[in-house]
Amino acid sequence: MYQLAPNIELLFTEAGDYPERVRAAAAAGFDAVEMWGPTGVDAPAKPKDIPALRAALEETGTQLTAQLAEPRTQFMIPPWDHSEFFRKLDEGVEIARALGCPRIVVGSGTGFGGWKRQVQLDKLIEIYRTAIAQIEGSGVTLVLEPVNVRVDHPGSLLDRTSEAAYVARGVDSPAFGVLYDIYHSAVEGEDMAAELAGAGDLVKYVQLADAPGRGEPGTGELDWEERLGILRASGYDGPIGLEYYPTVESSASVRRIVEAAARA
């Protein structure tokens, strides 16, 4: 069975602040959670109490599977000053290690109309080679997420799984890989089996939501037994982040995907 990790920005919010959401997820039977930015800079929620969050994770034996890099950086947009990204990367790695989190999710930012796409992809490779060198030995893996431009992230440079894989191959490090998000891929109209075959073992994390709508599995049109079967056939056996906007109470919203994961 896949390890499912509810996103505590969106799920179990009924419980209160982040440590209580961890406890609520654990009480609902989950042994893992994920979150967005560790200090709340990129989210509307207040900054997280990291010591309290760590205490909740340790108390419940819950694994934090992923957190986002802060701040969200426009790598390709002038004036091309990436110093804050690299400064905050060290801070993010420090927090990740304190929380026992093995992954930091990174992105591409908006594409720049003044450069060819290939130039921008190659520049992204250079940026993440530098990032990997900076955090070498930390034990933290960076996972690059392509996101859909049709609904949620218009203008994003990376919207194709194949291009994220291209960047990951260029970075060429075991500490760098691809985040495959089933929702974003479906919205972009990708063939899931083909994309996973093309990315191979570069896929180091997976997230999901139903499409259309980005709600819990069962609210959209995706066949979750089929999707998880494709994922299993690709060889991926790592955790899956539940990054969706629930339309019902959190513990009820997870039932369909928990059942499908048990059969995958």
Q: Which residues are catalytic?
A: 145, 243
| Cα–Cα distance, 72 to 37 (Å, whole number) | 9
Beta bridge partners of 208: 242
Beta bridge partners of 177: 143
Per DSSP, the residues of 145-176 read ----TTTT-TTBS---HHHHHHHHHHH--TTE
Angle between the N-to-C axes of helices 161-171 and 117-134, in degrees from 0 to 180, rounded to the nearest 10: 50
Residue 150 near residue 187 (C-beta atoms within 8 A): yes
Of 75, 12, 23, 73, nearest to 45 by C-alpha is: 12
